[in-house]
Amino acid sequence: DIVMTQSPDSLAVSLGERATISCKSSQSVLYSSNNKNYLAWYQQKPGQPPKLLIYWASTRESGVPNRFSGSGSGTDFTLTISSLQAEDVAVYYCQQYYSTPQTFGPGTKVEIK
Amino acid sequence: QVQLVESGGGVVQPGRSLRLSCAASKFTFSSYGIHWVRQAPGKGLEWVAVISSDGNDEYYADSVKGRFTISRDNSKNTLYLQMTSLKTEDSAVYYCAKARGSETPAADYWGQGTLVTVSS
């Protein structure tokens, strides 16, 4: 199974500042035949189901603000919130869908400083 | 707007069975794979299972393989999760989630979840 790790476990960022979350996979999730990274990012606010933010590691889902961006390839990925807003307080999860069982990272909690 | 509504959760004793349902609407259900994902209270997300759009392919997490069965009835726009030999560690909110597309398994729409509590 592919193990996903995230860092940090939590971070506090001032409003308008940048938040950066790291996600690493225990093996590459880059599929060579189509050069796509099988990685997604989700946002989960308290009491709500997760919301898809990013897929293919860097493709923003429709309706997601452009302050959210994903980058990386192979085994190392990053989710960046360029200018943190109050509504971005949530837990963020990465997920690989390269192979089954699909696996999530443990989550990173983002708070306002 | 895509809708997914889970039902069937509740309190059940260890070793017993439970069947969850997920009623889908406002999209072409038979064209998309669907996932079950669970979340124990205060914990992270755990992928449970996925079924292909036609129901012919199923995949499971190791933790539920042999105990849980995912299925679907495309004529009723409904997904199921049959859970047997339940353990206390199966206690969680269970979400059904639609795959974004046949080539994009990421889950783009999620239900609100149904709570399963396994306790004696």
Q: What would the DSSP string read from start to end of A66-93? A: TTEEEEEETTEEEEEESS--GGG-EEEE
- Residue B24, Cβ density class (10 Å: 0-12 exposed, 13-18 middle, ≥19 buried): buried
Residue B8 CA to residue B29 CA, distance in Å, equals 20
- Tell if the CB–CB gap between B59 and A101 is shorter than 8 Å: yes
pLDDT digits (tens, 9 = 90+) for A14-26: 999 999 999 999 9
Residue from A113, A107, A112, A39 nearest A73 by CA: A39
- Tell if the CB–CB gap between A95 and B106 is shorter than 8 Å: yes
* Distance between B60 CA and the closest CA of chain A, angstroms: 6
Q: Which residues of chain A have pLDDT under 70?
A: none
Confidence label for B53 from pLDDT (cuts 50, 70 and 90): very high
DSSP at A35:
T
CB pairs under 8 A between A and B: 58
* Sheet of B78-83, strand order: B3-7, B18-25, B78-83, B68-73
At residue B101, the pLDDT reads 86
**For residue B102, pLDDT beyond 80:** no
Confidence label for B100 from pLDDT (cuts 50, 70 and 90): very high
Phi, psi of A105 (to 5 degrees): -75, 170
Confidence label for B57 from pLDDT (cuts 50, 70 and 90): very high
- Tell if the CB–CB gap between A52 and B107 is shorter than 8 Å: yes
